[in-house]
Amino acid sequence: MKIRTWFKKTQIGRVVWRVIIGAIGGLITVLGAIALAGPGPGILILLAGLGILATEFAWAARVMVHTRTYAQIAADKVGIPKWVQFALIAGAAVISIVAILYLYSTGKI
C-alpha cells in the first residue's frame, strides 16, 4: 500500500498528509527564495517547492504558473536564446547534484 493512500484513509490522516506536504514544500520554496538572492539555481528550487505544494494545494499550482511566466518574461527581456536558457538550467542542476553527492560522500551532509 502506498503511504499516501494509507494517510488519506481518515480525515485526520488527510490533514496530517497536507501538513507534511505543506512543511516540505514550504521549506523547499523558502530555500529557493533564498537561493534567488544567493548563488544557486534559485528559480529551479523555488519551482520544485511550488510543485510539491501544488500536489495538495490549488493555490500553489496557480502561483507556480505565474512564477514560470514571470521567469520567462525576464529571460526574454534579457534576450537569452532558448537553448542557452536550457543549457544554463541543465548546467546548474548538474553542478548542484555533483555538489550534493560530493558533500554526501565526504560526510558533510
The reply to whether 85 falls in a domain is no
The reply to whether 29 falls in a domain is yes
The reply to whether 55 falls in a domain is yes
Rg from Cα positions in the chain = 17
H helix runs in the chain, sequence order: 3-7, 11-37, 42-54, 58-78, 82-105
- pLDDT by residue for the chain (109 residues), tens only, comes to 587 788 788 888 889 989 999 999 999 988 888 887 776 788 788 888 888 998 888 888 888 888 878 877 877 787 777 788 788 888 888 888 888 888 888 887 7
The reply to whether 103 falls in a domain is no
pLDDT score recorded for residue 23: 94
Contact 9, 15 (CB under 8 A): no
The reply to whether 11 falls in a domain is yes
pLDDT score recorded for residue 24: 93
- Cα separation of 100 and 23, whole Å? 22
The reply to whether 109 falls in a domain is no
The reply to whether 17 falls in a domain is yes
Q: How many domains does the chain have?
A: 1
The reply to whether 14 falls in a domain is yes
Q: Which domain holds residue 20?
A: 3-78
Report pTM. 0.59
